[in-house]
Every structure is written in structure tokens, then in C-alpha cells.
Amino acid sequence: MRKRILVLLSLLILLVIMVYIGLQHFVFSYQEVSIINKSELAVNIYASADDHDDPTQYTGQSLKTIKGSTTFKMKKGSYVIVTEKNDSYKQIILPLYLEDSHAHIDIKPQYSDEKLQLMLVQELPAITEAIRKTYQDISSYYTQEPGWLYEKGEWYATKLKYVGQGDIFKNDTLRIILHKESGVWKVITLPPDIVISHVLYPQIPREILIDINNFR
Amino acid sequence: MVRKRTVIFGLIAFSVVLCLIFLRPTGKTSGNNTIDIEVTPSRSSITLDGKRVSEGKSRVPDGKHTIKVMHKGFETQEQTVEISGSEELYVGIPLSPNSSETYNWYKEHDKDKQKADAMASKTYDQNSSNMTQSNPIVAHLPLPYGQERYAIDYAPSQINNNGIIIQITAEDSRGRQYALQQIKDWGYDPTDLEIEFLDFNNPLRD
């Protein structure tokens, strides 16, 4: 009788463990993903090509297409999020690693370079005026490069080239960033500087700072 | 009979081994932090999150914790610390006398004086270590003046707790650009640092 109980108990423990393993493989191997997408762009999710040098490489057909914001479950693993191609927007390609925690992906659509260039032509006089109002004697020291608009045209960054005569000690190029708030351009970097720090200006998107500090 | 018994014991042993494997602790438990408290005077009353504790190590969960130290004749001190991820944090709190009876306490109590000095030294070491961990660039600093005519040093940040401000000294714009390039060569983007150009007189600064 005792032996039978022991055997049954062992079988029960084995069964519990098998169920546990099953749960781990079939339920716990899935993870929740929240996509926040306030644009009209469709978002496709592809399997990652597992290219260690470029985590945005993807392979095969789209596994899922999403419009708008949503939360759903996907099998844990490496994926790539790709927004649809559109003349007005830059295509966004983001790696997505689904592991042990709920993934939140915020899709921030940005206008294409062509669209931003067209917008810049219209905005430049107002931008230049806002800079001149903030620094009235700026033209004695610096010339303003045409600059670049970012995101949806609400951020502007440019370089100020030194034009002062014979002063080799301060002929540094400065960076200046403006933001359009309620239709009015406002200088954010007070004062403009050689490097605009994300520590000092956390409200400016880091990608804009990296671009204007390093690549322009 | 013997074969049956072997099968039964084999099953039991197998089940136990599987139980041990699957029910083992995963090491992901939170709240495995330690706060090591030292105070002077030694017989001060100490509370940790409102509960009375003695000097030494106390285990606490992740999050903010408040340590309050009181002693008659001394200024009460309260310190809030944040701890997470199985961290061990040293908190040394020397109380300052606030009455005429205790005014010369540290002169008259040599053990407490020595302990307070040791606490200050431990706190300094911990802060330095935290600063190096939070700002790995300090491992390269200070960089003295060299052929490229710039120097790079650092000081505590005025705006960022545990942060630093990188101080670049260069007499012309070329030196400043070389200094920035050096920072990039170390693997840091200047965008992520607070940088002060000591010899640069920005014409657009008020």
C-alpha cells in the first residue's frame, strides 16, 4: 500500500513538473508588446536576420501589421519594427528584443528630409528673426548657417560661424537650437555653445544633439 | 521484488532531483540589499524607516530608505538613501553637538573622534567609487597639458547628483576641438557629458 502511494506521489510530482515545463514553453515563452503609434503610418514586424553588426536587418515576410496603438503578445525573440514607406515621412526601422519584460515601443514619426527642407525655406525668416531678437549683436560675432529642421519641423538646429576679426582665442563654431512653441520660434540653448549637452538640455531629443554636435 | 524496489526508489530520486532543479531559487529576488550604518556618538538612537535598529548591517528591499539618528545634546540627523539590485551601501552619520555640555564631545571622547574620522574616510571612498562607477570617463582623468595644447579635468557637477562636469582648458579653438576629439577617442559622445571650456569667453553669454 505504502509503495503504491510512493509510486503515485512520484508520478504526481512528475506530472506537475511536466505541466510546469509545458507552461514555461508554451505560455511563458510569449511576451506582451505595446506599440504606441499616434501616426497614420502602418507598422510591420519582421523576424530579425540576427546580424550582430546591424540589428535592423530583417528577413522574410511581415509577421504582423499594426495601425494605431495596440498591445499584443508575441513569442520571445528578436524582431525588427519597420514603418511603411511614405513620401512625407522617414521610414523608421527599430530592433525589438522580446525578453522577460513587457516591451513598450513608441513610434515617433519624423518628416522626410525633402519635406523638412521645403518647410525650412518657409520657416527660416521667422527662425532668423527669433535668433536676432534673442542676441541683438549676434551678427558682429557670428554668421548663421541655413541649418536643419528635425522631427515634424518643430526643432531647428544650426551652427554659428565666428566672424570676429583677429581673435584666434574665441573663433569657435557654436551650436544653437530653437523650438517652435504655439507657432513661435524660441531659442532653447541659452547661450549657444561649442557642444550642446544632453545633461543640460534633457528636453531636446538626444538624436538632434548628436547630429548637430558631431555630424553637421 | 528487488527490481520493483529499484524502480520505485529510482522514480522518487528522479522526482526529487527534478524538484530541486525547477524549484531552486533563480537569484532574481529583489530586496536583497544591505545598509551598513555607523554613527557617532556610539550610543545614539538609530531608526531605519521608523524602526529602531542598531549599528551595523540591516537588510532592506529595493527603494528609498530613511535613517534617523538622535542623541541628547546633538543635532538630530536624517538621511534618505536609494538602494537597489543587491547593493551594499555604507552610511556614516556623525552627529554635531548642539549644547554647551556636549560642545567638546569629540575632544573628550577620543574613540568617537577616531570613529568619526574613519567614517568620513569611508564615506569619501564610497562617494569616489560611486563617482567612478557613474562616470567611467574619470578613469582617463586628469589629462595634463600636452603637445596638442589642451588639458582635460573634472569637478563635481552642480546640477547632477553624483555627476561630473568635464573641464577643458585650451587656449584656442583648435585645442578645444582636439580635446573633444580625445573624448570621442575614449569612446564617449560629448553630447552626453556636461562640458565647461575654461578658457573660452563665449561672446553670447550674458
The pLDDT of residue A81 is: 93
The mean pLDDT of A59-87, rounded to a whole number, is: 91
Question: Is residue A215 pLDDT above 70, yes or no?
Answer: yes
* pLDDT means over runs of 10, chain B (206 residues): 69 68 47 89 93 92 93 94 86 93 92 94 87 88 89 91 90 92 96 94 84
Tell me which chain A residues have a C-beta less than 8 angstroms from the C-beta of B202: 170, 174, 191-193
Spatial contact of B148 and B178, defined as CB atoms under 8 Å apart: yes
Q: Is residue A75 part of a domain?
A: yes
Domain that holds residue A50: 31-107
Which of A45-49, A150-154, B158-162 has the lowest average pLDDT?
A: B158-162
Question: Is residue A153 pLDDT above 90, yes or no?
Answer: yes
Please enumerate, as own/partner, the contacts of A154-161 that have beta carbons within 8 Å and a separation of 24 or more: A154/A179, A154/A180, A155/A179, A155/A180, A155/A204, A155/A205, A155/A208, A156/A120, A156/A123, A156/A127, A156/A180, A156/A185, A157/A208, A157/A211, A157/A212, A157/A216, A158/A212, A159/A212, A159/A216, A160/A192
The mean pLDDT of A156-164, rounded to a whole number, is: 92
Share of chain A above pLDDT 70, in %: 98
Q: Do B191 and A194 touch (CB under 8 A)?
A: no
H-run or E-run covering A138:
helix A138-141
Q: What CA dihedral angle connects B3, B8, B9 and B10, to 10 degrees? A: 80
Q: Where are the domains of chain B?
A: 33-134, 137-197
The pLDDT of residue B154 is: 94
Tell me, yes or no, whether A125 and A175 share the same domain: yes
The pLDDT of residue B29 is: 36
Tell me which chain B residues have a C-beta less than 8 angstroms from the C-beta of A9: 15
Tell me, yes or no, whether A122 and A208 share the same domain: yes
Tell me, yes or no, whether A94 and A148 share the same domain: no
Residue that finishes a domain, picked among A107, A138, A156: A107
The three-class DSSP label of residue B169 is: strand
The pLDDT of residue B2 is: 58
Tell me, yes or no, whether A117 and A209 share the same domain: yes
The pLDDT of residue A158 is: 97
Q: Is residue A156 part of a domain?
A: yes
Q: Which of A97, A181, A16, A75 is closest to B22 using CA atoms?
A: A16
Q: How far apart are CA B133 and CA A40, in angstroms?
A: 43
Q: Which domain CATH number covers A89?
A: 2.60.40.1120
The mean pLDDT of A183-210, rounded to a whole number, is: 96
Tell me, yes or no, whether A118 and A75 share the same domain: no
pTM of the model: 0.67
The pLDDT of residue A168 is: 64
The pLDDT of residue A193 is: 96
- Interface residues on A facing B, Cβ-Cβ cutoff 8 A: 3, 6-7, 9-11, 13-14, 17, 20-21, 135, 138, 141-142, 162, 164, 168-174, 191-200, 206, 209-210, 213-214
Q: Which of B18, B193, B203 sits opposite A197 (nearest CB)?
A: B193
Tell me, yes or no, whether A196 and A125 share the same domain: yes
Spatial contact of A59 and A47, defined as CB atoms under 8 Å apart: yes
Domains of chain A: total: 2
Tell me, yes or no, whether A119 and A164 share the same domain: yes
Tell me which chain A residues have a C-beta less than 8 angstroms from the C-beta of B11: 7, 10-11, 14
Q: Is residue A7 part of a domain?
A: no
Q: Is residue A80 part of a domain?
A: yes
Tell me which chain B residues have a C-beta less than 8 angstroms from the C-beta of A206: 191-192
Q: Taking the domain B33-134, which CATH number applies?
A: 2.60.40.1120
Tell me, yes or no, whether A124 and A192 share the same domain: yes
The pLDDT of residue B148 is: 80
Grid coordinates given for A128: 532668423
The pLDDT of residue A10 is: 85
Q: How confident is the model at residue A70 (pLDDT cuts 50, 70, 90)?
A: very high
Window B:130-189, CB contacts with A under 8 Å: 157, 159-160, 163, 171-173, 176, 180, 184, 189
Q: Do A209 and B191 touch (CB under 8 A)?
A: yes
Grid coordinates given for B202: 563665449
Single-letter code of the amino acid located at B159: I
Spatial contact of A150 and A110, defined as CB atoms under 8 Å apart: yes
pLDDT of A87-145, one tens digit each?
Answer: 889 999 999 999 888 889 998 889 999 999 999 999 999 999 999 999 998 998 899 99
Residue that finishes a domain, picked among A107, A138, A163: A107
Q: Pick A50 or A198 by higher pLDDT.
A: A198
